[in-house]
Chains A and B, each alone.
Chain A
């Protein structure tokens, strides 16, 4: 268990991520109060820790790895030799071409590029459907691994999404996109905001519980492939 005292924290916060459990304390909270808080939530903590993915920390097996996670399924992976590093989705699966002397960093960068591209393709398909009901369009889209969030909308309307969403089921990814887009209408999580989400994505609760259940494992899988 990691204890972190954070001057900006407003309340006690206990989170479980792929790195383990972490307790954040505001400056004013005593150690005793924190221990009481932990005690109160011990069953939740035990439950979360037991559900935590037993991270297959073994690195990507180069030339051997048979498949890649993508959109909720495992897609066959074909390793080829090529003049430059590139991963492409074709009918037979993902074709990953690598020069003979390519380093692991280049392999990971090719995979990151591949996932970013797949995510961009999904965005391109989904966005036009939601655009007409919005007051304005997002100014930019950023796709990168986020540590605890799934997405965010900046005050300048730049939309960030977690790259690991593209590994999970597409419905969850689309829900996160819809959620962030609805922040263009209401920049909060008020009932009015959730009404806008429900109007566009009626089964958002299913997707949210999917992300709460599978989310950590998605983030861990992405970290294993590209970090």
Chain B
């Protein structure tokens, strides 16, 4: 259940009270199974899994929610192939070419006929809200699915003024400074992965993995004008991640030392285990956000 990616949004921390009845609100927007002729549905589900009653899970200031979805898989190739056959048969029967409107109607009928037979693909997107700092971290690396979750949450709560993260210093400049030898903020250290880009249009890209970052090779790239667009970092030897210039955290990984803490605890079933894991993760994310906020000067969401 540990999140793999983090896309952050900020909201006013004064909103914390609005989350008192979040369960009831999410219950109203619970995921409905996709109907036989529906393409996609979205709604909230329990973070603990199917058929669990709790719609959210709260540990102190941290709130865990999950957006579910069901989508019918209907590949365009399947439709086009079947449509081609039908059009051919029809044209042979009527002895004339089919017009655009007739083709369109034929396609619509075909989609309605095939939809009930299409596979249903389930989807889940997790998110954690920190009510003290006022941020939401969505477990998604694509802007679109993160925005989807935020707008569903806004829909469920009536109002939820979440802003995309805004850094007041250039993330690219700060990351480049770090591998050019400038000091990192306390707690952070360099990992062994980075992506360097020449910031001009269509500029060269260099990606390195398992590479010592403070070395001559990298320095040459910096001197020729490339700048860091993604950089692997480690926080307190607890979590490793890759931070992009788009402020999305990818490849988030909790390191052995942290996960070991969980091994020793007594666990009564899956519920307690998830609770322990979430509590651990929420604590680390709070620390991670505070460190990044200081380094990249994230704008607050309230005056």
Chain A residues in the interface with B (C-beta under 8 A): 83-86, 88, 99, 101-103, 105-106, 108-110, 113-114, 116-117, 120-121, 123-125, 127-129, 131-132, 134-141
Known: A86-B170, A113-B199, A139-B150. 18 other contacts (CB 8 A): A84-B177, A84-B180, A84-B223, A85-B227, A101-B225, A116-B170, A117-B169, A121-B299, A128-B301, A128-B303, A129-B303, A131-B12, A132-B12, A136-B154, A136-B161, A137-B161, A138-B163, A140-B143
Total count of chain B residues near the partner, CB < 8 A:
38
| In the complex with contacts A129-B303, A131-B163, A139-B147 CB distance below 8 A | yes
- The answer to whether B176 and A86 have CB atoms under 8 Å apart is yes
Q: Are B176 and A127 in contact (CB under 8 A)?
A: no
Q: Is the CB of A106 within 8 A of B166?
A: no
Instruction: Quote the shortest CB–CB distance from A111 to chain B (angstroms).
Output: 11
Q: Quick check: B227 and A84 within 8 Å, CB to CB? A: yes
Q: B residues 158-195 with Cβ under 8 Å of A?
A: 159-164, 166-170, 172-173, 176-177, 180-181
Asked if residues A131 and B302 are in contact (CB atoms below 8 Å), the reply is yes
Segment 119-169 of B: residues with Cβ below 8 Å from A: 143, 147, 150-151, 154, 159-164, 166-169
If over half of B's interface residues share one DSSP class (helix, strand or loop), that class is named, otherwise mixed; here it is loop
B225 and A127 contacting across the interface, CB-CB below 8 Å: no
| A–B pairs, 13, beta carbons within 8 Å | A86-B173, A106-B199, A116-B170, A117-B168, A120-B168, A121-B299, A123-B299, A124-B168, A124-B299, A131-B12, A131-B302, A138-B163, A139-B150
| Contact of B223 (CB < 8 Å), options: A99, A120, A129 | A99
Q: Which residues of B contact A (CB under 8 A)?
A: 12, 143, 147, 150-151, 154, 159-164, 166-170, 172-173, 176-177, 180-181, 198-200, 203, 219, 222-225, 227, 299-303
A116 and chain B: residue at smallest CB distance: B170
Please state if B176 and A84 are interface contacts (CB–CB under 8 Å). yes
Q: Could you tell me the distance in whole angstroms from the C-beta of A118 to the nearest C-beta in chain B?
A: 9
Contact of A137 (CB < 8 Å), options: B163, B198, B200:
B163
The 6 closest A-B pairs by CB, nearest first: A124-B299, A105-B200, A109-B199, A128-B303, A106-B225, A137-B161
Contacting residues, chain A, for B301 (C-beta < 8 A): 127-128, 131
Residues of A contacting B219 in the complex (Cβ-Cβ under 8 angstroms): 83
Closest Cβ neighbor of A104 among chain B residues: B200
Q: Identify A127's interface contact among B150, B151, B163, B199, CB under 8 A.
A: B163
How far does the alpha carbon of A127 sit from the alpha carbon of B300 in the complex, in Å? 9
Q: With A106-B199, A109-B199 as given contacts, are A101 and B223 in contact (CB-CB < 8 Å)?
A: yes
Residues of A within 8 A of B170 (CB): 86, 113-114, 116-117
Let me know if B200 and A109 touch, CB within 8 A.
yes
CB closest chain-A residue, reference B150: A139
CA distance A108 to B199 in the complex (A): 10
Contacts of B161 in A (CB 8 A): 131-132, 134, 136-137
Give every chain A residue within 8 A of B169 (Cβ-Cβ): 117
- List the B side residues contacting A135 at CB < 8 Å: 159
Chain B residue at minimal CB-CB distance from A123: B166
Give complex CA distance A85, B169 in Å.
15
